[in-house]
């Protein structure tokens, strides 16, 4: 069971400001049913430009509902500029803290607020859209959003990033990319942590090379394929030729030759050796037992 | 506030009879059954009696039972022990809806060069046996398929599956943790080679389990050390656990009828009423082929953890396949494998009953649940009002 603060539980059982404001000055909608939580925030300003009323509707767990409820309380009476300064940390602090794995609820609150302000600033025309490159395709999290939670909350591990914005929490295929974003943002702070990733060695024995190829397939390639109902098997390594077989959805995919092979080759060159090239083992893919449904 | 416990697939209350039986084995009869003195020897006899009681429930030989620390150890032993005994075979067949004690082990083996086939299930949570048959080949070392699903209660046609595997001389293991005490078994007439069970799912304590190993099945030991369990599982016996499991199996044999009639009728009453009183709700899993105590219902457009917390306020204990309850971000792998849409998977609630539940408890839950669903739907942006 989650360790929720009394304040969080109180807001969950007695949420404030539930509903939707008619003809609001700003609407912010974030999240989706597939993601497991979603929040619709509406607000109305008074004649002095202060938020007179704010209401929410939330689909999600207890902490998602409670963070939405406190968000509406926090922004009431604020000007747009003041409200824009509210961070996800402020929301979590207001509740007396959130469990680490639930920090993404506070981020969702801040995102909804931003979306609503953006909507207001555009005169009610602009809706929340994903900006920039999507890194985590499972939860639709962009590079920009990941950079932002890292900066604002001083995050140094992939696990923390997942807790704060869900990125990397689905198939896990983007974890390597998140690691690089952390490195880019935090620089030296995380130098020693990076040692755990497979690093390219100058000279490998054949056995070391095969092991590193297997490890790279296990950790960097298979999780993403699995998420889409596929799989990959390492068949053999002959010199610099890596023979693999694609299974399930990947094996039946007509584009397999062009896309999957290239992706695998790129990963293996990145983590093992630039000299490697990949070949697909067609024979084994024909055997019926190799097809996953 | 009274606790209403509808989470018996997670764990069960230790039966009072079981507790009384094991009490002397902590402070009075604490000897090591392997010892040469009479003080220890008498414990050895009690362990033998317990083994006989378990064998009686399963209709097998006492020598076919190995005690373990629980369902997870039994599953690990069955899988690793079978593969170690057949080093020339590299393929394992399992399903997408297995308990993590099987699925995680298989997926890890995949990283060590094994080919793992995870059979899909249909919307009802059932397997295509034709597909299973096609998958079994000369390279297959093991077929491991659960007896009954812990989340939905869906029961697989395990005898047919066992025959398909053993008919082709492939070892067949089943994780029967949820089925024991709820479904009658006769292993002497079955093709099942290996079967896992766990004490705390049938009113014995936690930390005790057993693995049935059919006579003649090749299995390398998983835990190495002393000579206990005829060299098949090392480690000083968990004496109170073993005695407790023996007693719990004796009680289960006596209560299996009640489980299939009274408990089933309570489950049916709860299920029918909730489906009727809560619009936008649906049953997950094969209604016919199911454990008598389990129901898994999805309430659309609301989230499982929020439902559980509201139930908790009334003292009602249940569980959910939603992402938020597990600490992961995706909903239950079982519901996803069944193709349950996201709108419903996040709002799934499992009620699992036992012979200790009463009709009043069911009625109280039927009264409270529609309130909870309505309250959360009022908050949901996906429900227009």
Q: Which of A61, A234, A288 sits opposite B324 (nearest CB)?
A: A61
Q: Distance between CA atoms of B308 and B352, rounded to whole angstroms?
A: 14
CB of A237 less than 8 A from some CB of B: no
Q: Which of residues 82-141 of A touch B (CB under 8 A)?
A: 101, 138-139
Q: How many CB pairs under 8 A join A and B?
A: 95
Tell me, what's the pLDDT at A133? Answer: 85
A290 pLDDT tier (thresholds 50, 70, 90): very low
Taking CB atoms and an 8 Å cutoff, what residues of chain A touch B349? Answer: none
CB contact under 8 A, A33 and B301: yes
CB contact under 8 A, B322 and A61: yes
Taking CB atoms and an 8 Å cutoff, what residues of chain B touch A136? Answer: none
CB B146 within 8 A of CB B97: yes
Taking CB atoms and an 8 Å cutoff, what residues of chain A touch B304? Answer: 61
Coil, strand or helix at A136: strand
Chain B: give the shortest CA distance to residue A77, in Å: 23
Tell me, what's the pLDDT at A139? Answer: 84
CB of A208 less than 8 A from some CB of B: no
Q: Distance between CA atoms of B325 and B340, rounded to whole angstroms?
A: 18
The answer, yes or no, to whether residue B385 has pLDDT greater than 70, is no
Structure tokens that stand for B1 in this block: 């506030």
Q: Which of A13, A34, A233 sits opposite B313 (nearest CB)?
A: A13
Domain coordinates in residue numbering, chain A: 6-121, 134-196, 206-290
Q: Which of A33, A169, A290 sits opposite B328 (nearest CB)?
A: A169
**What percentage of chain B has pLDDT greater than the value 90?**
92
Q: Distance between CA atoms of A111 and A56, rounded to whole angstroms?
A: 13
Q: Distance between CA atoms of A251 and A293, rounded to whole angstroms?
A: 11
Reported as type and span, the H/E element at residue A103 is helix A103-121
What pLDDT, in 10s, does the model give residues A78-135? 999 999 999 999 999 999 999 988 999 999 999 999 999 999 998 877 776 767 788 8
Residues of A forming the active site:
35, 105
Q: Looking at the domain A6-121, which fold is it? A: Sufe protein. Chain: A (3.90.1010)
Tell me, what's the pLDDT at A189? Answer: 65
The answer, yes or no, to whether residue B328 has pLDDT greater than 80, is no
Tell me, what's the pLDDT at A283? Answer: 67
- Average of per-residue pLDDT across A239-259: 71
The answer, yes or no, to whether residue A256 has pLDDT greater than 60, is no
Just give the CATH number of B4-11+256-378: 3.90.1150.10
CB of B300 less than 8 A from some CB of A: no
Structure tokens that stand for B372 in this block: 């909870």
The answer, yes or no, to whether residue A188 has pLDDT greater than 80, is no
Please give the C-alpha separations between residue B181 and each of B176, B253, B292, in angstroms, as whole numbers: 10, 7, 11
Tell me, what's the pLDDT at A8? Answer: 95
CB of B303 less than 8 A from some CB of A: yes
- Choose the weakest-confidence range: A8-17, A49-58, A158-167, B60-69: A158-167
Coil, strand or helix at B204: coil
CB contact under 8 A, B331 and A36: yes
Please give the C-alpha separations between residue B289 and each of B126, B153, B243, B252, B261, in angstroms, as whole numbers: 9, 8, 32, 21, 15
The answer, yes or no, to whether residue B254 has pLDDT greater than 80, is yes
Chain B: give the shortest CA distance to residue A274, in Å: 23
Tell me, what's the pLDDT at A199? Answer: 56
Tell me, what's the pLDDT at B209? Answer: 98
A252 pLDDT tier (thresholds 50, 70, 90): low
Residue of A nearest to B136 (CA): A289
The answer, yes or no, to whether residue A205 has pLDDT greater than 80, is yes
Chain B: give the shortest CA distance to residue A59, in Å: 5
Residues of B forming the active site:
324
CB contact under 8 A, B303 and A64: yes
Q: Which of A57, A138, A292 sits opposite B380 (nearest CB)?
A: A57
Domain coordinates in residue numbering, chain B: 4-11+256-378, 16-252
Coil, strand or helix at A91: helix
CB contact under 8 A, B324 and A60: yes
Tell me, what's the pLDDT at B327? Answer: 61
Chain B: give the shortest CA distance to residue A192, in Å: 26
Q: Which of B110, B117, B329 sits opposite A289 (nearest CB)?
A: B117
Q: Which one has a higher pLDDT value, B169 or B329?
A: B169
A261 pLDDT tier (thresholds 50, 70, 90): confident
Tell me, what's the pLDDT at A197? Answer: 52
CB of B384 less than 8 A from some CB of A: no
A226 pLDDT tier (thresholds 50, 70, 90): confident
What pLDDT, in 10s, does the model give residues B98-110? 999 999 999 999 9
Mean pLDDT, chain B, rounded, equals 95
- Using alpha carbons only, give the angle B188, B191, B192 rounded to the nearest 5 degrees: 90
Please name the CATH architecture into which domain A206-290 falls.
2-Layer Sandwich (3.30)
CB contact under 8 A, B302 and A59: yes
CB contact under 8 A, A166 and B115: no
Q: Which one has a higher pLDDT value, A266 or B206?
A: B206
DSSP E strand boundaries for chain A: 26-32, 37-45, 51-59, 134-136, 141-142, 230-238, 241-247, 277-280
A186 pLDDT tier (thresholds 50, 70, 90): confident
Just give the CATH number of A134-196: 1.10.10.1100
DSSP per-residue letters across B91-132: EEEEETT--HHHHHHHHHHHTTT-EEEEE---TTS---HHHH
Residue bearing tokens 């985590």: A136
Just give the CATH number of B16-252: 3.40.640.10
First to last CA, chain A: 36
Taking CB atoms and an 8 Å cutoff, what residues of chain B touch A21? Answer: none
- Choose the weakest-confidence range: A31-35, B90-94, B101-105, B144-148: A31-35
The answer, yes or no, to whether residue B122 has pLDDT greater than 70, is yes
- Average of per-residue pLDDT across B161-187: 97
CB B235 within 8 A of CB B223: yes
Q: Which of residues 252-271 of A touch B (CB under 8 A)?
A: none
The answer, yes or no, to whether residue B3 has pLDDT greater than 80, is yes
Tell me, what's the pLDDT at A191? Answer: 55
- Average of per-residue pLDDT across B40-47: 95
Q: Which one has a higher pLDDT value, B225 or A227?
A: B225
Choose, out of A14, A36, A105, A214, the residue to mutate when testing the contact with B (most B CBs < 10 Å).
Answer: A36
Chain A: give the shortest CA distance to residue B335, in Å: 13
Q: Distance between CA atoms of A232 and A251, rounded to whole angstroms?
A: 9
CB of A187 less than 8 A from some CB of B: no
- Choose the weakest-confidence range: A167-171, B12-16, B244-248: A167-171
The answer, yes or no, to whether residue B184 has pLDDT greater than 80, is yes
CB contact under 8 A, A38 and B382: yes
Taking CB atoms and an 8 Å cutoff, what residues of chain A touch B313? Answer: 13
Q: Which of B119, B313, B327 sits opposite A101 (nearest CB)?
A: B327
DSSP E strand boundaries for chain B: 4-5, 65-68, 91-95, 115-119, 140-144, 171-175, 194-198, 209-213, 281-283, 294-299, 316-317, 319-320, 348-352
CB of A57 less than 8 A from some CB of B: yes
- Average of per-residue pLDDT across A144-154: 90
CB of A64 less than 8 A from some CB of B: yes
């Amino acid at each position: 069971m989650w360790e929720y603060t009394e304040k969080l539980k109180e807001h969950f059982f007695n949420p404030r400001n539930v509903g939707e404001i008619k003809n609001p000055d700003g609407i912010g909608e974030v999240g989706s049913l597939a993601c497991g939580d979603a929040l619709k925030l509406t607000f109305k300003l008074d004649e002095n430009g202060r938020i007179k009323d704010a209401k929410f509707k939330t689909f999600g767990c207890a902490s998602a509902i409670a963070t939405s409820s406190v968000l509406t309380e926090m922004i009431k009476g604020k000007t747009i500029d003041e409200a824009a300064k509210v961070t996800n940390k402020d929301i979590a602090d207001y509740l007396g803290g959130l469990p680490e794995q639930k920090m993404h609820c506070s981020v969702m609150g801040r995102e909804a607020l931003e979306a609503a302000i953006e909507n207001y600033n555009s005169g009610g025309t602009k809706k929340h859209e994903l900006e920039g490159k999507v890194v985590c395709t499972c939860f639709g999290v962009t590079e920009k959003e990941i950079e932002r939670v890292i900066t604002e909350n001083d995050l140094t591990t992939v696990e923390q990033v997942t807790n704060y914005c869900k990125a990397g929490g689905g198939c896990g295929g983007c974890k390597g990319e998140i690691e690089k974003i952390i490195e880019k943002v935090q620089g030296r702070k995380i130098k020693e942590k990076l040692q755990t990733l497979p690093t390219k060695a100058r000279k490998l024995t054949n056995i070391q090379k095969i092991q590193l190829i297997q490890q790279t397939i296990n950790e960097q390639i298979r999780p993403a394929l699995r998420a889409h109902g596929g799989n990959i098997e390492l068949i053999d390594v002959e010199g610099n030729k890596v023979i693999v077989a694609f299974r399930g959805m990947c094996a039946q995919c007509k584009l397999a030759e062009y896309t999957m092979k290239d992706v695998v080759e790129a990963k293996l060159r990145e983590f093992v050796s630039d000299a490697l090239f990949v070949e697909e083992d067609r024979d084994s893919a024909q055997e019926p037992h190799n097809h996953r449904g | 506030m009274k606790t209403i416990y509808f989470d018996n697939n997670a764990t069960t209350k230790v039966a009072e009879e079981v507790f009384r039986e094991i009490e002397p084995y902590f402070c009075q009869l604490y000897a090591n059954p392997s010892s040469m003195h009479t003080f220890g020897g008498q414990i050895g006899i009690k362990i033998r009696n317990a083994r006989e009681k378990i064998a009686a429930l399963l209709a097998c030989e006492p020598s076919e039972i190995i005690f373990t620390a629980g369902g997870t150890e039994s599953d690990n032993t069955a899988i690793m022990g079978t593969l170690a005994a057949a080093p020339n075979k590299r393929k394992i067949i399992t399903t997408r809806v297995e308990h993590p004690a099987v699925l995680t082990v298989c997926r890890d083996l995949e990283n060590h060069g094994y080919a793992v086939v995870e059979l899909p299930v249909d919307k009802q949570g059932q397997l295509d046996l034709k597909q299973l048959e096609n998958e079994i080949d000369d390279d297959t070392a093991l077929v491991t398929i659960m007896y009954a699903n812990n989340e939905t209660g869906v029961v697989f046609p395990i005898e047919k599956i066992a025959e398909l595997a053993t008919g082709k001389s492939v070892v067949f293991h089943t994780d029967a943790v949820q089925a024991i005490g709820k479904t009658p078994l006769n292993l002497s007439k079955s093709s099942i080679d290996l079967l896992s069970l766990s004490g705390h799912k049938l009113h014995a304590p936690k930390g005790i389990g057993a693995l049935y190993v059919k006579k003649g099945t090749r299995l390398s030991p998983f835990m190495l050390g002393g000579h206990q369990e005829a060299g098949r599982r090392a480690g000083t016996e968990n004496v109170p656990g073993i005695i407790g499991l023996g007693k719990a199996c004796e009680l289960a044999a006596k209560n299996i009828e009640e489980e299939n009639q009274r408990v089933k009728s309570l489950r049916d009453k709860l299920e029918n009423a909730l489906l009727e009183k809560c619009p936008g709700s649906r049953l997950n899993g094969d209604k016919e082929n199911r454990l008598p105590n389990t129901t898994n219902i999805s309430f659309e457009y609301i989230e499982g953890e929020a439902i559980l917390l509201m139930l908790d306020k009334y003292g009602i204990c249940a569980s959910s396949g939603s992402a938020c309850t597990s600490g992961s971000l995706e909903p239950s792998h079982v519901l996803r494998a069944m193709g349950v849409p996201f709108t419903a998977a996040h709002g799934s609630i499992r009620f699992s009953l036992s012979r200790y539940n009463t009709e009043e408890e069911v009625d109280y839950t039927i009264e409270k649940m529609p309130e909870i669903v309505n309250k959360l739907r009022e908050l949901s942006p996906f429900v227009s009002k």
